């Protein structure tokens, strides 16, 4: 039976959950694809394509983060994971199945394609938090929360402007993602009053970089992936400030990669950049550890769970902006926008800009760890042209 949102008393629902102990095992355990039962069981539905060959790993990272947050929610609703569907076709049927089963809130779908299908072809009777972002007009009760790199590019443009730069050199490639980053950065940069000095499409020919010079109030933006950025960085003047999105940070496990990006400023989430914060330390880490990309999705799952409860309890206005593990979160229309943390590559280590520089022996690879080698590496010009 479908439960209208206005008829749902969340506190009452929570108080009667013990009646369903034989159906769900507890708030820290997600039940997958339950059979249709009567009466319907009030729960939070988590729609993720766990069985997808291409999306399964990402979906699993989100699921782990969501359940990590659920494990800390006292007297919370059970979470039921709906995973047996294809985001290109079966989104509406799965969503309706969750509602019929008693879902009082839904997190998902995960992809833009799935969200478009849901927004265009279905009524939204309960608070629904899509785990990606689309720009189309959405029905009431459908909200968006994701990690769009375009939003990061716009934040980088605003950050560089705030730090006093007025002219930008934009380096991109012909990849679709690079084009999206370039467009988002330039749109924001122009809106603030900045000037685009040059646009360079880098295809591997370093001679295109030979005449780049550092001028007053100028900076460069990398609208590229990490491989091209590593190639480009040594050919830029060392005194030309450089900015990028989180695409250039693959974690601190491969220090030598980060050495090639020395001095580039970027943004990323507190989950990766500010692990010492109480708001970050309060959530368990994935075990075993995930890749950096999947750690971001894990953090997305944590904050998605928090936002679902704010929507359920009608606490959005009172709670925002929210210090999330993905960034400071605010609501713009029906989209939750996150502000990432400014960071920089320092001696092979990506860190927030307000973090103290760690001792060299903690930041250099093992092969550098004697006094003379550390000193030599620390004083060498890491961005010198070959």
- Residue 30 has what pLDDT? 53
Q: Could you identify the residue written with the tokens 């309960």?
A: 126
- Residue 3 has what pLDDT? 39
**CA–centroid distance for 91 within its chain:** 22
List the chain domain ranges: 5-145+279-339, 150-269+341-379
- Residue 33 has what pLDDT? 53
Q: Which residues pair with 379 in a beta bridge?
A: none
- Residue 348 has what pLDDT? 95
Mean per-residue pLDDT pooled into runs of 10, the chain (386 residues): 40 40 38 57 97 96 98 92 93 96 98 94 92 91 96 98 98 96 98 97 94 95 97 96 97 94 98 96 96 98 98 92 97 96 97 72 39 35 34
- Residue 377 has what pLDDT? 39
Instruction: Name the pTM for this structure.
Output: 0.83
The CATH classification number of 150-269+341-379 equals 3.40.50.2300
- Residue 341 has what pLDDT? 97
DSSP one-letter code for 99: H
- Residue 75 has what pLDDT? 82
Q: Is the peptide bond before 109 cis (omega within 30 degrees of 0)?
A: yes
- Range list of H helices, the chain: 10-15, 56-70, 91-100, 112-121, 149-162, 176-192, 226-232, 255-259, 270-273, 278-281, 292-312, 316-319, 360-363, 371-379
SS3 content of the chain, % helix, strand, coil (to 5): 40, 20, 40
What architecture is domain 5-145+279-339? 3-Layer(aba) Sandwich (3.40)
- Residue 383 has what pLDDT? 34
- Residue 357 has what pLDDT? 58
Per-residue tokens: 71: 């494990």
């Amino acid at each position: 039976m479908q439960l209208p949102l206005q008829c749902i008393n969340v506190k009452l629902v929570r108080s009667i959950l013990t009646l369903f102990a034989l159906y769900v095992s507890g708030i820290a355990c997600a039940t997958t694809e339950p059979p249709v039962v009567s009466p319907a069981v009030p729960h939070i539905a988590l729609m993720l394509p766990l069985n997808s060959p291409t999306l399964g790993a990402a979906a699993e990272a989100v699921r782990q983060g969501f359940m990590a947050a659920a494990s800390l929610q006292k007297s919370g609703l059970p979470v039921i994971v709906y995973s047996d569907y294809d985001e290109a076709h079966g989104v509406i049927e799965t969503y309706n199945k969750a509602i019929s089963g008693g879902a009082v809130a839904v997190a998902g779908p995960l992809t833009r394609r799935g969200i478009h299908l849901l927004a265009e072809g279905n009524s939204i009777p309960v608070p629904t938090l899509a785990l990606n972002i689309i720009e189309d007009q959405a029905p009431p009760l459908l909200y968006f929360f994701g990690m769009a790199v375009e939003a990061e590019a716009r934040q980088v443009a605003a950050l560089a402007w705030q730090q006093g730069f007025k002219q930008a050199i934009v380096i991109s490639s012909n990849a679709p993602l690079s084009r999206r980053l370039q467009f988002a950065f330039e749109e924001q940069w122009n809106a603030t009053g900045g000037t685009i000095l040059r646009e360079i499409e880098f295809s591997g020919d370093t001679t295109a970089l030979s005449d780049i010079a550092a001028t007053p109030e100028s900076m460069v933006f990398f609208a590229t992936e990490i491989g091209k950025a590593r190639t480009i960085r040594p050919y830029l003047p060392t005194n030309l400030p450089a900015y990028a999105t989180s695409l250039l940070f693959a974690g601190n496990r491969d220090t030598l990669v980060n050495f090639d990006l020395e001095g580039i400023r970027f943004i990323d989430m507190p989950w990766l950049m500010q692990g010492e914060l109480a708001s970050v330390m309060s959530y368990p880490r994935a075990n075993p550890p995930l890749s950096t990309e999947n750690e971001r999705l894990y953090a997305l799952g944590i904050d998605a769970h928090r936002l679902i409860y704010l929507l359920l309890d009608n606490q959005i206005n009172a709670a925002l902006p929210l210090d999330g593990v993905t960034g400071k979160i605010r609501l713009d229309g029906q989209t939750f926008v996150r502000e990432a943390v400014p960071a920089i590559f320092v001696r092979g280590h990506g860190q927030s800009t307000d973090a103290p520089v760690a001792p060299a022996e903690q930041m250099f690879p093992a092969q550098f760890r004697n006094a003379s080698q550390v000193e030599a590496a620390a004083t060498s010009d890491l961005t010198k042209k070959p």
